[in-house]
A = this chain, B = another copy of it.
Amino acid sequence: MLDAGASSEKMWVVKSTASAGRSSSNPDLPRLRADLDAYMTKRRLRSTEQRRLIIDTFFDAHEHITIDSLLKQVRAIDSRVGYATVYRTMKLLADSGIVQEHKFGDGFTRYELNDEDHHHDHLICMECGKITEFEEPLIEELQARVAARYDFQVRQHKHELYGVCSDCQKPKKRRP
């Protein structure tokens, strides 16, 4: 259940995300859907009602969504969808490469679109659970240099900063 790498204290809960609603305006959606179609056709995977529903729901949902949240949204439309199907569908998306799986340490796997052009990493607030994305090309550059130094071929990486976000550093407002 723990996954932050250092402390083993009671884990905070990731409650929200900084990019809620972003995906619905993501200009790469059509391309990603086309990639997915190609992947499914190539592998002779079938387009079922459940998959279409789960995938549509995921594409409309905010990033960093969990299986639980996704299943709830899916079941609001078709209550008979099993959670194994959601797991299997998200795995399919991950295998196709259009989705990334993240484990930010609250015990739930989160999913987001894999935007290869604009790679980003994450700041995770241990107080409120907010997830903020950051891009820092210089870090990527140095990282590549480190890998080269060890003659290591990087296939994926994880760079996550855990701490306290700006909002949570402020003293709590008292109700007047």
**Contact residues of A with B, CB < 8 Å?**
2-9, 90-91, 94-95, 97, 100-103, 109, 114, 123, 125-126, 132, 134, 136, 138-139, 142-143, 146-147, 149-166, 169
Contact of A156 among B102, B152, B162 (CB under 8 A): B162
With A139-B142, A154-B162 already in contact, 7 other A-B pairs whose C-beta atoms are closer than 8 Å? A2-B109, A5-B101, A6-B114, A136-B142, A143-B159, A152-B166, A158-B158
B150 touches A9 (CB 8 A): no
Contact of A95 among B7, B100, B109, B123 (CB under 8 A): B7
A123 / chain B contacts, CB cutoff of 8 Å: 146-147, 150, 152
